[in-house]
Amino acid sequence: MSDNELDAELAQVLQPPRVPADFRARLTAAITAVDAAAQAAATARLQREYESQCGALAADHRRRQRLAIAALVVGGLLAVSIAQALLPWLRLGFGSYASLVLTFGVLAAGVGFTLNWPSPLVPWLE
Amino acid sequence: MASVAGRVRTDDDGVVEWLRAGLRERAFGALLDRYEAKVYRLCCAMLRDATLAQDVAQESWVRVWRALDGYDGRASFSTWIYTIARNRCRTALERRRAQQAVIDAEATADDVAATADAPTADDRAAALRRLVDQLPERYRLALTLYYYEERSVGEVAELLALPEGTVKVTLHRARAALRGMLQHQGMNDVRQWLEELP
């Protein structure tokens, strides 16, 4: 048997297969499905990120709110205690104006504290 | 050969330009026009199952579509696409082997037993095909692709990512092995076969 004979026989037996007629239609459908799935996955991922960030912001906001309220309560109690301690001494110096002086003094201290105290105790000034 | 390489390079450059211009579908269409049949034939040769080959070829092209934006141009499109297709075929083969190891072993034993007898004139083509199927995998693949690709050693080398010299040696050994099998099966008289072929 010669090489040519074997070659001819093999060429007849090993005919190249043809691409099925519906291959492109099926491929297009598969790509469309994959793209849709990828888009849905990307949308879901972005949605999750957005919700996660919103949750973190809300938690931070609540934490700051609690700190601010705590600061106000502690500050108020401290102011009342100081006023009670200072009032007799102020009466000696200012007489009947002692309450007024004390009120303005507390207000000035409060404003000074608010303006100069670093966050997060006063988040609305950030 | 150099002109062919130059033409391929130019074609690849055109597709790259389309990709840069955001014309992804146009670039993909050009690649599909150029390599669709070759990828399908590669899948057929590797998998020996037309239905599975169609699925794997489709899967390969979907991968190409998804990865097209990330194509870095380090390899030519043909090399890149054939690599994807070969890898998908290997994955499919491993999956099939894992699922049907016992069944395949039984079927192969049956095939060997069936081909032990000399073939009749009616099934001579099927018998030769069966002998080709019984060749070692690298021989069978090279030989099959050689005839699928109109006897182009260069194409076979590119499809299998092998040097052309290696493909030539493999083809030579495949033919020798096949000739030995034909003699062993008593099917050496090819002339008689050729006269009877339609």
Q: Write down the pLDDT at residue B89.
A: 95
Q: How many domains does chain A have?
A: 1
Please spell the DSSP secondary structure of B24-37, one letter per residue. HHHHHHHHHHHHHH
Q: Are residues B77 and B27 in the same domain?
A: yes
Domain interval for residue A94: 22-125
The tens digit of pLDDT for each residue in B22-42 reads 888 999 999 999 999 999 999
Spatial distance between the Cα atoms of B76 and B69, rounded to a whole number of angstroms:
15
* HSE-CB for B151 with a 13 A CA cutoff: 7
User: Chain A within 8 Å of B29 (Cβ-Cβ)?
Assistant: no
* HEC assignment per residue over chain A: CCHHHHHHHHHHHCCCCCCCCCHHHHHHHHHHHHHHHHHHHHHHHHHHHHHHHHHHHHHHHHHHHHHHHHHHHHHHHHHHHHHHHHHHHHHHHHHHHHHHHHHHHHHHHHHHHHHHCCCCCCHHHC
Is the residue at A97 inside a domain? Answer: yes
Q: Which of A77-86, B21-30, B108-117, B168-177 has the lowest mean pLDDT?
A: B108-117
Q: Which of A39-48, A49-58, A68-77, B82-91 has the lowest mean pLDDT?
A: A68-77
- Residue A32 Cα, gap to closest chain B Cα (Å): 10
Give the three-state DSSP class for B167.
Answer: helix
Q: Write down the pLDDT at residue B85.
A: 96
Q: Write down the pLDDT at residue B189.
A: 62
Give the three-state DSSP class for B170.
Answer: helix
* CB proximity under 8 Å: A 58-87 to B: none
Q: Write down the pLDDT at residue A115.
A: 76
Q: Write down the pLDDT at residue A24.
A: 93
> In chain B, how long is the greatest CA-to-CA distance?
62
The tens digit of pLDDT for each residue in B63-122 reads 999 999 888 888 889 999 999 999 999 999 999 888 876 565 555 545 544 444 544 545
Residue B48: which of B79, B80, B89 has the closest Cα?
A: B89
Instruction: Give the chain B residue nearest A26 (alpha carbons).
Output: B58
Domain interval for residue B93: 1-100
List of residues 6+ apart from B54 with CB closer than 8 A: A20, A23, A26, B40, B43
Q: How far is CA A55 from the centre of its chain?
A: 6
Give the three-state DSSP class for A88.
Answer: helix
Is the residue at B46 inside a domain? Answer: yes
Phi, psi of A74 (to 5 degrees): -65, -45
| Residues comprising chain B, all counted | 198
Q: How many domains does chain B have?
A: 2
Q: Write down the pLDDT at residue B192.
A: 56
Highest mean pLDDT out of A24-28, A115-119, B20-24, B119-123: A24-28
Q: What CATH number does the domain containing B17 carry?
A: 1.10.1740.10
Highest mean pLDDT out of A9-13, A96-100, B42-46, B69-73: B42-46
- How many other CB atoms are there within 10 angstroms of residue A121's CB atom? 17
On chain B, the residues whose CB falls within 8 A of the CB of A10 are 128, 132, 143, 147, 178
Q: Are residues B141 and B197 in the same domain?
A: yes
Which residue type is seen at B154? Answer: G
Is the residue at A84 inside a domain? Answer: yes
- How many other CB atoms are there within 10 angstroms of residue A109's CB atom? 14
Q: Write down the pLDDT at residue A9.
A: 85
Is the residue at A5 inside a domain? Answer: no
Q: Write down the pLDDT at residue B58.
A: 96
Q: Write down the pLDDT at residue B11.
A: 67
| CB B63 within 8 Å of CB B180 | no
Spatial distance between the Cα atoms of A65 and A69, rounded to a whole number of angstroms:
6
Q: Write down the pLDDT at residue B186.
A: 74
Is the residue at B179 inside a domain? Answer: yes
Q: Are residues B32 and B94 in the same domain?
A: yes
Mean pLDDT for the stretch of residues B14-21: 85
User: Chain A within 8 Å of B193 (Cβ-Cβ)?
Assistant: yes
Mean pLDDT for the stretch of residues B174-191: 79
On chain B, the residues whose CB falls within 8 A of the CB of A30 are 58, 62
Answer with the residue of higher pLDDT: B46 or B70.
B46
Q: Write down the pLDDT at residue A114.
A: 74
ipTM of the complex: 0.73
Q: Are residues B95 and B122 in the same domain?
A: no
